[in-house]
Amino acid sequence: MTLTLQDALFSAALAVYLTASVFVAAVRWGHRCQPYGKHMDYYHPAWKTVIFCYLSNLLMAPAVFVPTPHRCR
């Protein structure tokens, strides 16, 4: 299987996107503003859902390594 320039750029862009998604999820998980940190579920009830949405992008991780579908002959 040969990798075309378009496939390589797609893989690189997707890898950057997934890395950014994981980074934002980690920051969202660990960051708590001072006045609201003690009652996070009250002030930001969807914070766990937001983290899940960012991490669900990892389902696209196999496309980084195999950017083109296998074609049957």
Q: Is the pTM of this model over 0.85?
A: no
Residue 50 lies in a domain: yes
Under the banding of pLDDT at 50, 70 and 90, the label for residue 71 is low
Residue 32 lies in a domain: yes
The total number of structural domains in the chain stands at 1
Tokens of 52: 């899940």
Under the banding of pLDDT at 50, 70 and 90, the label for residue 1 is low
Residue 71 lies in a domain: no
CA angle 13, 17, 20 (to 5 degrees): 140
Domain of 18, in residue numbers? 5-65
State yes or no: pLDDT of 12 exceeds 90.
yes
pLDDT, position 36: 81
pLDDT single digits (tens) 39-53: 888 988 999 999 999
Residue 20 lies in a domain: yes
Contact between residue 67 and residue 37 where contact means Cβ atoms under 8 Å apart:
no
Contact between residue 21 and residue 43 where contact means Cβ atoms under 8 Å apart:
no
Residue-averaged pLDDT of the chain: 87
Residue 73 lies in a domain: no
State yes or no: pLDDT of 73 exceeds 60.
no
